[in-house]
Amino acid sequence: EFFYTTATNNPRFDKMEGNPICVQIPWDKNPEALAKWAEGRTGFPWIDAIMTQLRQEGWIHHLARHAVACFLTRGDLWIS
């Protein structure tokens, strides 16, 4: 019932684009920044160390996963 009622007042309720309720985030499409992030060459020592550990060991702590994910998305690079 909740979602039915919500969708009645906002026909684009299930989408981000064109939805007046959602904050429109200006996502970036920067393949160079994405490659630097993946290779651990961002210039941020903490992020670079985590990405290096991930490449070398194939594992990182869950808090480190959160840190690199946030850095990639809403923390600094704004890549979707």
Residue 68 belongs to domain with CATH number: 1.10.579.10
Q: Mark 33-50 as b/e (b = at least 16 C-beta within 10 Å).
A: beebbeebebebeebbeb
> What is residue 64's predicted lDDT score, i.e. its pLDDT?
98
Q: Is residue 46 part of a domain?
A: yes
pLDDT digit of tens for each residue in the chain (80 aa)? 787 787 788 888 888 888 888 888 888 999 999 999 999 999 999 999 999 999 999 999 999 999 999 999 998 999 98
How many domains does the chain divide into?
1
Q: Is residue 19 part of a domain?
A: yes
- The boundaries of the domain holding residue 7 are 2-75
Crossing angle of helices 45-57 and 62-70, in 10° steps, is 120
3-state secondary structure of 53: helix
3-state secondary structure of 15: coil
Q: Is residue 49 part of a domain?
A: yes
Q: Is residue 80 part of a domain?
A: no
